[in-house]
Structure 1
Amino acid sequence: MFSSLDHDSIMILVAIPCLLLLYFAIKTLKERLFPNPHLPPGSLGWPLVGETLQFLPINLPPEIFVNYRMKKYDSPVFKTSLFGETVAVFVGPAGNKFLFSNENKLVNVWWPTSVKKLMKLSLANVVGDEAKRLRKILMTSVDRDALKSYIDRMDLVAQNHIRTRWEGKQQVKVHPTANLYTFELSCRLFASIDDPIHISKLAHHFDIFLKGVIHFPIYIPGTTFYRASKSGDALKEEIRLVARQRRAALDKKMESHRKDLLSHLLVTADESGKLLSESEIVDNMLMLLFVSHETTTSAMTCVIKYLAEMPEVYEMVLREQLDIAKSKEAGELLKWEDIQKMKYSWRVVSEVLRMIPPISGTFRQAIVDFTYAGYTIPKGWKLYWSPNTTTKDPAHFPNAEDFDPSRYEGAGPAPYTHVPFGGGPRMCLGYEYVRPKILVFLHNIVKRFKWDLLIPDEKVPYNPLPAPSHGLPIRIRPHQSSA
């Protein structure tokens, strides 16, 4: 039976069951000798994998995992085991507030091992003073002043995208098309990469990379993580080459300081005068591509879906966007002031983000022992929060299953109940960037087309981010006179 196996393979086959038995024995003995009644209720599931397989189901809504356990344990916090780590899951606005308000005091950021390995020197993996230093540099590239200079280029890319991907067609598959648009826009704004062939090459690697970012970090040929790692290396090498060419050009004053993220990272020093290393620049460029891409694609796709389902909402968005279009001269591009006028459109987007949050949640880790809701959270435990614990709760959103943009009029939802981009010092770095990115796209689509869903009951599962099962195919009809 073992004739075809080498010695190492046989040793591995023997060692695995032995290690599992040892794990069970130690775990059982520890629980009997050192019971801790103050830990949150919950289950750690199977050895090694815990409840990870239930946490990452294919084609099921992410709230099933959390909401089922919220009801089962009837507790504001419960424990589980994910990605080989013991995890406390915080639920409701009180849990959100606690985690967001205690960053760098009781908790700090944590990502699964797969993320740490793929983006080692990015903001996703640093904590404390180093995180503050890096975040300050990155934030100035996506702050309001920087964004104001991006709006006209966003408009140009959106117009070109619509000419090549939408106009002259009767049907469009929205999710993959929006995916191409968001990636092209990021390439142009982040690194001034304009060549379609270069962008296509990067997009191929990026799609493979995304599939393995949140995954079991098994580095064996043929696994999802292995493929993601290889594509991540290819992306980093491409970014590194562009960065070196840009640095050489800047040093020789062969070109002016471009208004993009890459040039900003190359020339911006911290308070001590230290510039980012090449590896820091590369890993953070890749991280920003990751955090700004799929969430935006998902949000744009879901906005298109809801506008098809809500004709009265579509008409109000159309009216607002046509008013803006009519105020412009022929050929005049959108400006920051135009984005500020899209108030109703942004309320619609906000409601879409409540109905289908762009992320299922993120992680922190306990840096000290602390107590929450009467339960002890030991140092080293990982912590998880999810926007899904509040967005469909009628206690916070009356008639929660109804689509209602008026929820965001005036003061809007109560604090910590609508947090699609997180909160506190670790709030999504690209939040301000995502808003005009979506609104510019929406402006250009709505003023040109009306559309119908070809699959009216198409599901939108998370895997790991929300995406329609069939890509959201739609039938489009140009307006009689597009602006």
Structure 2
Amino acid sequence: MDLLVFFTLLCLFSISLFLIKIRRKPSNRLPPGSLGIPIIGQSFSFLRAMRENTAEKWLEERVQKYGSISKVTLFGTPTVIIHGQAGNKFIFTSDTLTNQQPTSIRKLLGTRNLMELSGEDHKRVRGAVMSFLKPEVLKRYVGKMDTEMKKHLDMYWQGKEKVAVLPLMKTLTFDIICSLLFDLDLGTRRNDFLEAFQYVIEGLLSVPLNIPFTSLNRGIRASTKIKSMVRDIICEKRLAIEKQEAIPDQDLITSLLSIQGEDNEALLSENEIVDNVILVMSAGYDTSSVLITFMVRLMATDPVVYAGILKEQEEIAKSKTAIDSITWEDLSKMKYTWRVALEIMRITPPVFGAFRKTLKDAEFGGYLIPKGWQILWAANMTHMDESIFPEPSKFDPKRFENQASIPPYCFLAFGGGPRICPGYEFARIETLVAIHYLVTRYTWKLCGIDNNFSRTPMPVFPQGLPIQIEQKKTTV
């Protein structure tokens, strides 16, 4: 009985706060639409649409009904959905917006990561993270990614007749992340990271109820464990630097620990290092694995695309022996392969969209967006706009032969403007190295009953996209 009273009071308190938040401005200036039931709003219908892979339709119906801007309630917060190039530019450049994410994301990824910071803090932390993720640094780690890919194939593909692609690609990308971010070898520690991290990913977009048996509750407990593990690694790396047993660019953590500000003090706090390491882990773990899986699925069903990628990769393989690694120069020759990847991300972006929050009252399209409200942008809303991309449903990698011809803030697979994803180059290298070895070592065909996907919030395949594989006689 006491528990029932507690939850009743909690709900009444939450509703009161919600009503206070939305009542402070006259409704006739707010965007059209309904906020729905306080706290819950349209969260469940949106999550259901994500799971059923109909979120694009969910958004299109709102645009048809209300126009390019409308209001809903998502994950406990009044939210404005904005559509179109002008809306995207506003989202990525306006100084009235901050990167504060929904409650579930903040609780799991922390409050000092790039997705949360604005102004000088964002500039400072982004500069530190980019010092490791910029091309001139990453080019030194192509060989390390190459080694991880060969280990992966030997462990999980060699001698097999059937594999499930998505789980294996998640294992691959996580191993690469552990290698480059932590310089962490295979073993129990990596396995513990992976087990906890899967709960974090599952809870990123969830109704903000931290009670037992919810996705958010499981994610918070897993996030606490991961943060403790990252802090232990930071202590180890800091000691190694003091003993001159580690070099500044050995991995992401040593890089962030080694960067000093103007006063010769550490540029980033320990909390900032922890939160941004976890953010990079999240981004690299899911997005690249999904992209590689989509490419494997496409090559199994589109012989033209497969032939184009195979020809490009075999040309590179001809100049190598079995022990040679992919080089930075090799990656620059994989132009068609990367155009295919970009076109996949245009049609089915791994990241459906993201949130911003207003720092103060803002105006867009003649409507008021009150302080503290969320703004949701979704990549597919411009990716599938026929005025920007003619015949948007048609798969055509030629669209990206001249990327400068694509209008600004219209292709959003990696965000846009000053907020463009700092991991772009990391994802490109990881994807191209993986595809090179897959197409030059194996042939495959789909063998699952259901090869479609849903979103939770990242794309998932019911059976993991099973394929029947056959190893080629000549390998590289």
TM-score if structure 1 supplies the norm length?
0.92
Once the two structures are superposed, what CA deviation does each residue of 1:255-297 show, in whole Å capped at 9, x if it has no partner? 4445210110111123443312323222221111012211111
TM-fit CA distance, 1:326:
1.3
- Asked if 1:480 corresponds to 2:473, the answer is yes
3-state DSSP of counterpart to 2:224: helix
For 1:242-281, what aligned pairs fall within 5 Å after superposition?
242-257=233-248, 259-275=250-266, 276-281=268-273
The corresponding residue for 1:439 is: 432
3-state DSSP of counterpart to 1:476: strand
3-state DSSP of counterpart to 2:123: helix
TM-fit CA distance, 1:196:
2.6
Does the C-alpha gap of structure 1 residues 366 and 332 become closer, same or farther in structure 2, counting only changes over 3 Å? same
Q: How many residues align?
A: 471
Task: Judge conservation of contact 1:137–1:270 (CA < 8 Å) in 2.
Answer: no
The corresponding residue for 2:379 is: 387
- Asked if 1:9 corresponds to 2:7, the answer is no
The corresponding residue for 1:218 is: 209
Once the two structures are superposed, what CA deviation does each residue of 1:416-444 show, in whole Å capped at 9, x if it has no partner? 22211111222222112111111110111
3-state DSSP of counterpart to 2:133: coil
Q: Distance in 2 between matches of 1:256 and 1:69?
A: 53
Higher Cα Rg: structure 1 or 2? 1
The corresponding residue for 2:33 is: 42
More deviation, 348-357/322-331: 322-331
Does the C-alpha gap of structure 1 residues 23 and 130 become closer, same or farther in structure 2, counting only changes over 3 Å? closer
* One-letter amino acid of the counterpart of residue 90, structure 2: F
Q: Distance in 2 between matches of 1:258 and 1:373?
A: 46
- Asked if 1:186 corresponds to 2:177, the answer is yes
More deviation, 256-265/378-387: 256-265
Does the C-alpha gap of structure 1 residues 9 and 174 become closer, same or farther in structure 2, counting only changes over 3 Å? same
Does the C-alpha gap of structure 1 residues 44 and 14 become closer, same or farther in structure 2, counting only changes over 3 Å? closer
For 1:311-460, what aligned pairs fall within 5 Å after superposition?
311-410=303-402, 411-455=404-448, 458-460=451-453
Does the C-alpha gap of structure 1 residues 310 and 133 become closer, same or farther in structure 2, counting only changes over 3 Å? same
Does the C-alpha gap of structure 1 residues 14 and 237 become closer, same or farther in structure 2, counting only changes over 3 Å? closer
Q: Distance in 2 between matches of 1:18 and 1:371?
A: 31
Once the two structures are superposed, what CA deviation does each residue of 1:440-460 show, in whole Å capped at 9, x if it has no partner? 101111111121111375211
For 1:192-207, what aligned pairs fall within 5 Å after superposition?
192-207=183-198
Q: Distance in 1 between matches of 2:435 and 2:100?
A: 34
Q: Distance in 1 between matches of 2:242 and 2:331?
A: 36
Q: What RMSD over aligned residues (CA atoms) do the two structures have, in Å?
A: 2.2
3-state DSSP of counterpart to 2:41: coil
Task: Judge conservation of contact 2:76–2:207 (CA < 8 Å) in 1.
Answer: no
Q: Distance in 1 between matches of 2:135 and 2:17?
A: 52
Q: Distance in 1 between matches of 2:347 and 2:18?
A: 41
Match of 1:232 among 219, 223, 231: 223
Match of 2:156 among 158, 165, 187: 165
TM-fit CA distance, 1:322:
0.9
Once the two structures are superposed, what CA deviation does each residue of 1:112-139 show, in whole Å capped at 9, x if it has no partner? 1122222133222222211111111111
Does the C-alpha gap of structure 1 residues 43 and 169 become closer, same or farther in structure 2, counting only changes over 3 Å? same
- Asked if 1:53 corresponds to 2:47, the answer is no
Q: Distance in 2 between matches of 1:239 and 1:443?
A: 32
3-state DSSP of counterpart to 1:89: strand
Identity %: 35
The corresponding residue for 2:107 is: 117
TM-score if structure 2 supplies the norm length?
0.93
Once the two structures are superposed, what CA deviation does each residue of 1:154-194 show, in whole Å capped at 9, x if it has no partner? 11101111111112111110000101000011000101001
More deviation, 173-182/8-17: 8-17
Q: Distance in 1 between matches of 2:368 and 2:315?
A: 56
Task: Judge conservation of contact 2:382–2:411 (CA < 8 Å) in 1.
Answer: yes
* One-letter amino acid of the counterpart of residue 72, structure 1: K
- Asked if 1:142 corresponds to 2:124, the answer is no
* One-letter amino acid of the counterpart of residue 243, structure 1: I
3-state DSSP of counterpart to 1:111: coil
Does the C-alpha gap of structure 1 residues 165 and 373 become closer, same or farther in structure 2, counting only changes over 3 Å? same
* One-letter amino acid of the counterpart of residue 253, structure 2: L
